[in-house]
Amino acid sequence: MNFKLSTVTLLLLSALPAGAVDVFSLDSCRSLALTHNKELLMQAEKVKAAHYTRKEAFAAYLPALDFAGGYMYNQKELSIFDKDQLLPTKTFNPSTGSYDFNLVTDPTTHMPVKGPDGQYIPQTVALIPKESMTYDIHNVVFGAVTLTQPIYMGGKIVAMNKIAGYAEELYKDMHAAARQDVIYAVDAAYWQVVSLSAKHKLATSYVALLDSLDRNVGYMLQEGVATRSDKLTVDVKLNEAQIDLTKVENGLVLSRMLLAQLCGLPVESNMHVDDEQSIEVNTNAEIATTYDMERVYEMRHDVRALTMATKIADQQSNVAMSSMLPNVALIGAYTFSNPNLYDGFKKKFDGAFSVGVMVKITLWHWGGNYNKYKAAKAEHKVAELKLDDAKEKITLQVSQAAFKAREAMKTYLMTITNESKANENLENARIGFNEGVLTTDNVLEAQTAWLKAHSEKIDAMIEVQLCDVYLNKVLGRMD
């Protein structure tokens, strides 16, 4: 019959299970999760990609140097004439001061004579053989080195560079927001382990209480001062407590597996945490009733990401506008070939430089470019509305989180009082039962109230921790 509350206290504050176990602090769990989380690794690669994209956009300011070349085999040679050419000649006429064609004349009339085809017949001709104007182009090698320097692209290059810079910042904020989500998930799993561990100790203590009461009632039954019904009632309560203990043990194992998985460790790791030994709650911590929301917006990575998205949408409209403005570029090139065209198709490499300016002006596209610009402006407006909507929801989110944190602290303080009263009630029941003035049912009721008070205190402590974590998350202070 003799059981002491000191035994219950010792059971509640008992050490971790014997054997080799891995004990982790909250910070170490966070660090492991941030290191091994696949989503974070993907977000980090996206940040790298955005960084290189920004560098790519900057390269558009600089001149582009390109080379193109090739080889071509042609089946036939190139011939300027289809046959030998006979060209008429001219002789200088001093009387006229000009050159006259040398034509066959009629001896009588001294007039030029026409042939059957109606053309004048030349008296002398110059022969150009077909072979002299035929070139070997069976094997042609050609190439060109070109340099292009944008001068004015309608503001497109400037806008694209700003977009790339904003995109890099956006991905950085998305990565930071994902880090906070991981930390929040780890904290929730961590405190779930702490909660179930504490409840496991509590359930073990409750089973020990019932087991002690069961033995005492058994002694009393043997001495004839208790009934069989008393013994069966205690047995039923003991069986229920043992079933609850098994459920808590199973839940604790599963919660450890979840925490291990979030930390990137094998799920079979025997993972224990520091706060299983004891949970400390700072009851003096004050929770503000109002917050500087502009400061909160600055610290919230998701808001900053939406802000970057709004700026990107604004620059997209500038890109659309650039399609309606003139584009000017400076072009330089050096082209060469073999055989070359500069010296009678000689079979050697030769080339020449050329420099010019290219101007492109959009004249009429049936409103296509203008409608593209208006669509971009509409997308910018949508982005602004998303940002405003997010800020409104965050304001409500912060208010609710602060309210829940304050209520959780109030509940915890009340559970401390309830726990003290439940301990006193259980001690009084034990004394009364020993004195024979209270029944087994009175003791069971006191034990049940004791169990409920301790369980509610555990839940309240965990709720205080989770509310604090959530409040820090919505305030953007989780980094």
54 contacts: CB under 8 Å, gap ≥ 6? 161, 164, 165, 167, 168
Identify whether 147 is part of a domain. Answer: no
pLDDT, tens digit (0-9, with 9 covering 90-100), for 342-368:
877 888 898 999 999 999 999 999 999
Identify whether 144 is part of a domain. Answer: no
Whether the Cβ atoms of residue 353 and residue 334 lie closer than 8 Å to each other: yes
Q: Are residues 92 and 222 in the same domain?
A: no
Q: Are residues 108 and 194 in the same domain?
A: no
Whether the Cβ atoms of residue 431 and residue 178 lie closer than 8 Å to each other: no
In terms of DSSP H, where are the helices of 151-264? 156-223, 228-262
| Cα 455 to Cα 411: distance, rounded to the nearest angstrom | 13
Q: Are residues 178 and 244 in the same domain?
A: yes
| Cα 456 to Cα 245: distance, rounded to the nearest angstrom | 16
Residue 221: helix, strand or coil by DSSP?
helix
Identify whether 400 is part of a domain. Answer: yes
Q: Are residues 24 and 101 in the same domain?
A: no
CA nearest to 479, candidates 184, 44, 263, 169: 184
Identify whether 189 is part of a domain. Answer: yes
Low-confidence residues in the chain, pLDDT < 50: 1-19
Q: Are residues 164 and 240 in the same domain?
A: yes
CB-count burial class (<10 Å; 0-12, 13-18, 19+) for 134: middle
Identify whether 345 is part of a domain. Answer: no
| Cα 211 to Cα 242: distance, rounded to the nearest angstrom | 10
Question: What's the domain count of the chain?
Answer: 2
CA end-to-end span of the chain: 54
Residue 439: helix, strand or coil by DSSP?
coil
What's the distance, CA 314 to chain centroid? Answer: 21
CB-count burial class (<10 Å; 0-12, 13-18, 19+) for 447: buried
Q: Are residues 64 and 90 in the same domain?
A: no
Q: Are residues 226 and 369 in the same domain?
A: yes
Residue 282: helix, strand or coil by DSSP?
coil
Identify whether 18 is part of a domain. Answer: yes
Q: Which two tokens stand for residue 116?
A: 């059957």
pTM beyond cutoff 0.85: no
Q: Are residues 401 and 291 in the same domain?
A: yes
Instruction: Please give the pLDDT value at position 245.
Output: 94
Q: Are residues 311 and 402 in the same domain?
A: yes
Q: Are residues 200 and 94 in the same domain?
A: no
Whether the Cβ atoms of residue 249 and residue 367 lie closer than 8 Å to each other: no
Q: Are residues 110 and 61 in the same domain?
A: no
| Cα 277 to Cα 273: distance, rounded to the nearest angstrom | 8
Identify whether 348 is part of a domain. Answer: no
Q: Which two tokens stand for residue 434?
A: 């020993």
CA nearest to 387, candidates 319, 297, 299, 317: 297
Dihedral sign, CA of 60, 61, 65, 68? positive
Instruction: Determine the structural domain holding residue 249 and report its residue range.
Output: 5-68+153-327+364-474
Q: Are residues 251 and 278 in the same domain?
A: yes
| Cα 170 to Cα 304: distance, rounded to the nearest angstrom | 7
| Cα 125 to Cα 477: distance, rounded to the nearest angstrom | 99
Identify whether 268 is part of a domain. Answer: yes
CATH number reported for the structural domain that contains residue 25 in this entry: 1.20.1600.10
